[in-house]
Amino acid sequence: MLSDDEEFVRSLNYGYGGFSRSLPRREDLQSNLDLSQFLKGVLASGLSEDILESNAALDRCYKKGWLQAELLANGKRVYIYPSKLHERYAKILLSSAVPEFPQHLFSSVRQLCFEAISKFSPALLSSTQPRLSAGAVVPPKEAQYTQELFRACYHILGHNLFLTSKWTGTSSNGRVDFYIKPVKWAIECLRDGSDLLEHIERFQPGGTYYPWIVSREIQDYILLDFRTSKPTNIRDDAPFLYSIVFSKDYTSYEIYDAKLNLVVERVLLLSSKD
């Protein structure tokens, strides 16, 4: 029996006629490491700002229709996946051969997330220029945090796509923001405390994600509240909750636990996004 991902790849290859011509074949990616790594980078960053004439991998992807060009409001040309279907297809193929998860470097989901947050780009977080996503869609503003977390994890995990977005387990209908299958870790994100109680309850008895915790499909989890002001309410019932409080210009941050204890003192973010 095929998994959902395998069935999705098969349906695009055989069920949509000429649509498959704008998709890379598994053999294309397996035989060209530079091409695969470039497309992984586009997934991690959401787009490529490279110049077509100076990047052979980008040139091939563009001519094959695997990526499309878009002009931003400032006149800058960027390259993105043509649709969410193209993006999901690429994620499945490019995530199928990841190495062993480096648990000797990151022994908990908290350690991984805290390290990733230290690599966030203040320029990307504070930019007023809308960032296009696959299909030239402008994502909601709260998506800047999840995109940055995905990008930063990609870099600190050796340029590998360990994070699965919008993951669904076998015993519930919910979707956790990120799941790391080799270690069974879950990451949920929110912005400025929006629907905080609902997010907390998802991990508690009776909640959407609780069956995955009971079945051990989730063995470690964290709820990250990204914000620009310190929270005021203590949450004794959510030891997995952490508030990342950025300065107004996103050049630094602090992290508080659910009891409002300062667990990471102020960290300065570097301007580089790499």
Write the pLDDT tens digit of every residue in 197-219. Answer: 999 999 999 999 999 999 999 99
* CA dist., res. 146 & res. 158, Å (int): 19
Sheet holding 185-191, edge to edge: 163-167, 176-180, 185-191, 220-227, 241-246, 252-257, 262-268
**Axis crossing angle, helix 109-117 with helix 143-156, rounded to the nearest 10:** 100
pLDDT in tens, the chain (274 residues): 445 565 555 555 554 444 556 788 888 888 888 999 999 999 999 999 999 999 999 999 999 999 999 988 888 899 999 998 899 889 988 887 789 999 999 999 999 999 999 999 998 888 766 677 787 777 777 788 999 999 999 999 999 999 999 888 876 678 999 999 999 999 999 999 999 999 999 999 999 999 999 999 999 999 999 999 999 999 999 999 999 999 999 999 999 999 999 999 999 998 754 4
- Give per-residue pLDDT as tens, 54-95: 999 999 999 999 999 998 888 889 999 999 889 988 998 888
